[in-house]
Amino acid sequence: MSMDIFMQHLLNGISVGSLYALIAIGYTMVYGILLLINFAHGDIFMMASYFMIFAVVDFGMPIWIAIPLIILLTVILGMLLERSAYKPLREAPRMSIMISAIGASFLLENLATYLFSGVPKGYPDIPWLTKVVNIGNVSFQIVTVVAPVLVIFILIGLMWLVNHTKTGMAMRAVSKDFETARLMGIKINTVIAATFAIGSGLAAVGSVLWGAKYSSVYPLMGVMPGLKCFVAAVFGGIGNIPGAVLGGIVLGLGETMLVAFFPGLTGYRDAFAFVLLIVMLLVRPNGLLGEKSTDKV
Partner 1 sequence: MSKEYILEISNLSVSYGGIKAVKDISFAVPKGEVVTLIGANGAGKSSTLRAIVGLEKPAAGSIKFAGEELAGLSTDAIVEKGITLVPEGRRVFPNLTVLENLKIGAYMRKDDLSKDIEWVCDLFPRLKERSWQKAGTLSGGEQQMLAIGRALMSKPSVIMMDEPSLGLAPIVVQGVFDIIKEINRQGVTILLVEQNANMALKAADQAYVMETGRITMSGTGTELLENDDIKAAYLGKSKK
Instruction: List interacting residues with partner 1 (CB under 8 A).
Output: 166, 169-170, 172-173, 175-177, 179-180, 182-187, 291, 293-297
Q: 121 pairs with which residues across the strands?
A: 217
Q: Based on CB atoms, which residue is closest to partner 1, 4 or 291?
A: 291
Q: How many angstroms separate the CA atoms of 266 and 282, rounded? A: 25
Instruction: State the nearest-atom distance from the C-beta of 90 to partner 1, in Å.
Output: 13
Instruction: State the nearest-atom distance from the C-beta of 270 to partner 1, in Å.
Output: 35
- For helices 223-236 and 241-261, the axis angle rounded to 10 degrees is 120
Instruction: State the nearest-atom distance from the C-beta of 297 to partner 1, in Å.
Output: 8
Q: Based on CB atoms, which residue is closest to partner 1, 58 or 295?
A: 295
For residues 66 and 55, the answer to whether their CB atoms sit within 8 Å is yes
| CA proximity to 121, closest of 49, 16, 210 | 49
Instruction: State the nearest-atom distance from the C-beta of 188 to partner 1, in Å.
Output: 8
Instruction: State the nearest-atom distance from the C-beta of 32 to partner 1, in Å.
Output: 10
Q: Based on CB atoms, which residue is closest to partner 1, 147 or 181?
A: 181
Q: In this structure, which amino acid lies at residue 135?
A: I
* Cα 248 → chain centroid: 9
Q: Based on CB atoms, which residue is closest to partner 1, 131 or 176?
A: 176
Q: Between the CA of residue 192 and those of 23, 28, 102, 110, what are the distances in Å?
A: 18, 13, 19, 26
Q: Based on CB atoms, which residue is closest to partner 1, 181 or 259?
A: 181
